[in-house]
Amino acid sequence: MNAFEELTADFSRLPGIGKKSAVRMVNWLLTQDEAYVRRFAQNLGVLKERIKPCSVCGMWTEEDPCPICTSPVREMTQICVVEQSQDVTTIEAYGEYKGLYHVLGGLIKPLEGVGPAQLTINALLERLKKGSFTEVIIATNPTVEGDSTALYINKVITELALPTPVKVTRLAMGIPVGGDLEYIDKRTLSLSFRGRSQI
Protein backbone atom coordinates (compact mmCIF):
# COMPACT_ATOMS: atom_id res chain seq x y z
CA MET A 1 0.00 0.00 0.00
CA ASN A 2 1.37 3.42 -0.94
CA ALA A 3 0.81 6.68 1.00
CA PHE A 4 -2.19 7.65 -1.16
CA GLU A 5 -3.95 4.31 -0.57
CA GLU A 6 -3.17 4.34 3.17
CA LEU A 7 -4.62 7.82 3.65
CA THR A 8 -7.66 6.91 1.50
CA ALA A 9 -8.24 3.86 3.73
CA ASP A 10 -7.94 6.07 6.85
CA PHE A 11 -10.47 8.61 5.54
CA SER A 12 -12.91 5.89 4.45
CA ARG A 13 -13.11 4.72 8.09
CA LEU A 14 -14.71 8.04 9.04
CA PRO A 15 -18.52 7.96 9.51
CA GLY A 16 -20.42 8.85 6.34
CA ILE A 17 -17.29 8.74 4.17
CA GLY A 18 -17.15 6.08 1.46
CA LYS A 19 -14.23 5.02 -0.74
CA LYS A 20 -15.04 7.59 -3.48
CA SER A 21 -15.32 10.48 -0.98
CA ALA A 22 -12.07 9.41 0.64
CA VAL A 23 -10.28 9.42 -2.74
CA ARG A 24 -11.68 12.94 -3.44
CA MET A 25 -10.43 14.17 -0.04
CA VAL A 26 -6.90 12.85 -0.58
CA ASN A 27 -6.80 14.30 -4.11
CA TRP A 28 -8.00 17.66 -2.74
CA LEU A 29 -5.30 17.64 -0.02
CA LEU A 30 -2.66 17.03 -2.68
CA THR A 31 -3.72 20.26 -4.45
CA GLN A 32 -3.35 22.38 -1.28
CA ASP A 33 -0.22 24.25 -0.24
CA GLU A 34 2.23 22.36 1.94
CA ALA A 35 1.80 24.66 4.97
CA TYR A 36 -1.94 23.88 5.15
CA VAL A 37 -1.39 20.12 4.82
CA ARG A 38 1.29 20.17 7.55
CA ARG A 39 -0.98 22.19 9.89
CA PHE A 40 -3.87 19.79 9.16
CA ALA A 41 -1.67 16.77 9.94
CA GLN A 42 -0.31 18.43 13.10
CA ASN A 43 -3.83 19.26 14.39
CA LEU A 44 -4.90 15.70 13.70
CA GLY A 45 -1.81 14.36 15.47
CA VAL A 46 -2.47 16.23 18.74
CA LEU A 47 -6.25 15.80 18.72
CA LYS A 48 -6.31 12.94 21.26
CA GLU A 49 -3.74 14.73 23.44
CA ARG A 50 -5.58 18.03 23.66
CA ILE A 51 -9.26 17.01 23.62
CA LYS A 52 -10.54 14.96 26.57
CA PRO A 53 -13.96 14.31 28.10
CA CYS A 54 -14.97 16.86 30.75
CA SER A 55 -14.63 15.24 34.19
CA VAL A 56 -18.05 16.65 35.17
CA CYS A 57 -20.37 16.29 32.15
CA GLY A 58 -18.39 14.11 29.72
CA MET A 59 -18.42 16.58 26.81
CA TRP A 60 -15.25 16.81 24.66
CA THR A 61 -13.17 19.77 25.84
CA GLU A 62 -9.65 21.21 26.07
CA GLU A 63 -10.37 22.77 29.48
CA ASP A 64 -11.41 20.59 32.39
CA PRO A 65 -14.08 21.23 33.62
CA CYS A 66 -15.54 22.46 30.33
CA PRO A 67 -16.71 26.07 29.77
CA ILE A 68 -20.39 25.07 30.15
CA CYS A 69 -19.87 23.40 33.53
CA THR A 70 -17.89 26.38 34.84
CA SER A 71 -20.12 29.11 33.37
CA PRO A 72 -21.67 31.34 36.07
CA VAL A 73 -24.62 32.21 33.83
CA ARG A 74 -25.93 28.68 33.23
CA GLU A 75 -29.14 27.46 34.88
CA MET A 76 -27.74 25.18 37.61
CA THR A 77 -31.05 23.48 38.42
CA GLN A 78 -31.53 21.83 35.01
CA ILE A 79 -29.48 19.01 33.51
CA CYS A 80 -29.99 17.75 29.96
CA VAL A 81 -28.97 14.12 29.37
CA VAL A 82 -27.67 13.40 25.85
CA GLU A 83 -26.20 10.38 24.09
CA GLN A 84 -23.00 11.88 22.64
CA SER A 85 -20.91 15.04 22.90
CA GLN A 86 -22.03 16.22 19.45
CA ASP A 87 -25.61 16.38 20.76
CA VAL A 88 -24.49 19.18 23.11
CA THR A 89 -23.12 21.09 20.11
CA THR A 90 -26.44 20.64 18.27
CA ILE A 91 -28.54 21.87 21.22
CA GLU A 92 -26.18 24.78 21.94
CA ALA A 93 -26.41 25.93 18.30
CA TYR A 94 -30.11 26.75 18.82
CA GLY A 95 -29.37 28.92 21.86
CA GLU A 96 -32.65 28.06 23.66
CA TYR A 97 -31.41 25.80 26.46
CA LYS A 98 -29.38 27.44 29.23
CA GLY A 99 -28.91 24.57 31.72
CA LEU A 100 -26.14 21.99 32.23
CA TYR A 101 -25.48 18.73 30.36
CA HIS A 102 -24.61 15.11 31.01
CA VAL A 103 -23.18 12.95 28.19
CA LEU A 104 -24.03 9.23 28.50
CA GLY A 105 -21.43 8.03 26.00
CA GLY A 106 -23.97 5.87 24.15
CA LEU A 107 -27.27 4.09 24.69
CA ILE A 108 -28.30 0.84 26.36
CA LYS A 109 -27.96 -1.85 23.66
CA PRO A 110 -28.10 -5.33 25.24
CA LEU A 111 -27.54 -7.14 21.91
CA GLU A 112 -24.24 -5.26 21.51
CA GLY A 113 -23.23 -5.85 25.12
CA VAL A 114 -23.84 -2.24 26.21
CA GLY A 115 -25.63 -2.04 29.54
CA PRO A 116 -26.08 0.76 32.09
CA ALA A 117 -22.63 -0.01 33.57
CA GLN A 118 -20.92 0.90 30.28
CA LEU A 119 -22.57 4.33 30.26
CA THR A 120 -22.13 7.27 32.65
CA ILE A 121 -25.49 6.74 34.39
CA ASN A 122 -23.86 6.23 37.82
CA ALA A 123 -21.96 9.51 37.38
CA LEU A 124 -25.29 11.21 36.56
CA LEU A 125 -26.84 9.84 39.77
CA GLU A 126 -23.86 11.12 41.78
CA ARG A 127 -24.29 14.58 40.25
CA LEU A 128 -27.97 14.56 41.20
CA LYS A 129 -27.11 13.62 44.80
CA LYS A 130 -24.56 16.44 45.12
CA GLY A 131 -26.34 19.17 43.15
CA SER A 132 -29.56 21.10 43.62
CA PHE A 133 -31.22 19.99 40.38
CA THR A 134 -34.99 20.30 39.99
CA GLU A 135 -35.29 18.88 36.45
CA VAL A 136 -33.58 16.21 34.36
CA ILE A 137 -34.34 16.58 30.64
CA ILE A 138 -33.73 13.36 28.72
CA ALA A 139 -32.75 14.18 25.13
CA THR A 140 -31.95 10.74 23.71
CA ASN A 141 -33.00 9.99 20.13
CA PRO A 142 -36.54 8.65 19.59
CA THR A 143 -35.35 5.11 18.74
CA VAL A 144 -35.97 1.82 20.52
CA GLU A 145 -32.58 2.14 22.27
CA GLY A 146 -33.12 5.84 23.01
CA ASP A 147 -36.55 5.17 24.50
CA SER A 148 -35.39 2.22 26.62
CA THR A 149 -32.41 4.23 27.90
CA ALA A 150 -34.75 7.12 28.80
CA LEU A 151 -37.11 4.75 30.64
CA TYR A 152 -34.20 3.19 32.54
CA ILE A 153 -32.84 6.61 33.59
CA ASN A 154 -36.32 7.70 34.70
CA LYS A 155 -36.65 4.51 36.78
CA VAL A 156 -33.30 4.85 38.58
CA ILE A 157 -33.83 8.57 39.29
CA THR A 158 -37.31 7.85 40.68
CA GLU A 159 -35.84 5.19 43.00
CA LEU A 160 -33.06 7.53 44.14
CA ALA A 161 -33.42 9.07 47.61
CA LEU A 162 -32.82 12.75 46.88
CA PRO A 163 -33.19 15.63 49.38
CA THR A 164 -35.45 17.50 46.94
CA PRO A 165 -37.66 15.89 44.28
CA VAL A 166 -36.40 15.97 40.70
CA LYS A 167 -38.79 16.16 37.75
CA VAL A 168 -37.77 13.93 34.82
CA THR A 169 -38.91 15.17 31.40
CA ARG A 170 -38.37 14.04 27.82
CA LEU A 171 -37.96 16.27 24.76
CA ALA A 172 -41.21 16.63 22.83
CA MET A 173 -41.39 14.49 19.71
CA GLY A 174 -43.74 14.76 16.78
CA ILE A 175 -44.54 16.65 13.61
CA PRO A 176 -41.79 19.06 12.54
CA VAL A 177 -42.59 22.72 11.87
CA GLY A 178 -43.74 23.04 8.29
CA GLY A 179 -44.36 19.27 8.07
CA ASP A 180 -47.20 17.86 5.97
CA LEU A 181 -49.46 15.24 7.62
CA GLU A 182 -49.58 13.31 4.35
CA TYR A 183 -45.86 12.50 4.60
CA ILE A 184 -45.55 11.87 8.36
CA ASP A 185 -44.82 8.28 9.37
CA LYS A 186 -47.13 6.45 11.80
CA ARG A 187 -44.70 6.50 14.75
CA THR A 188 -44.14 10.26 14.50
CA LEU A 189 -47.87 10.87 14.21
CA SER A 190 -48.51 8.63 17.23
CA LEU A 191 -45.90 10.54 19.29
CA SER A 192 -47.46 13.84 18.17
CA PHE A 193 -50.87 12.80 19.49
CA ARG A 194 -49.42 11.57 22.79
CA GLY A 195 -47.33 14.73 23.25
CA ARG A 196 -50.07 17.20 22.31
CA SER A 197 -50.41 20.36 24.40
CA GLN A 198 -53.23 22.79 25.13
CA ILE A 199 -53.52 25.86 22.87
Q: For the residues 173-179, what does the mean pLDDT come to?
A: 72
Helices and strands counted in the chain (H then E): 9, 6
Taking residue 183's Cβ as centre, other Cβ atoms within 10 Å add up to 8
What are 49-55's contacts with CB under 8 Å, separation 24+?
53/85, 53/103
Q: Name the pLDDT band for 10 (thresholds 50, 70, 90).
A: very high
Question: pLDDT digits over 13-63, tens only?
Answer: 999 999 999 999 999 999 999 999 999 999 999 999 999 999 999 999 999
What's the pLDDT at 47? 93
Q: What backbone phi and psi angles, to 5 degrees, belong to 3?
A: -60, -40
Q: For the segment 94-118, what is each residue's pLDDT rounded down to a tens digit?
A: 888 999 999 999 999 998 999 999 9
* Best CA proximity match to 175, nearest among 193, 192, 195, 199: 192
The whole-model pTM stands at 0.83
Least confident of 69-78, 121-130, 179-188: 179-188
Residue of 176, 178, 168, 175 whose CA lies nearest to 189: 175
Region of 119 please: left (phi>0), alpha (psi -120 to 50) or beta. Answer: beta
Percent of the chain, pLDDT > 90? 73
Query: Could you tell me the pLDDT band of residue 1, with boundaries at 50, 70 and 90?
Result: confident
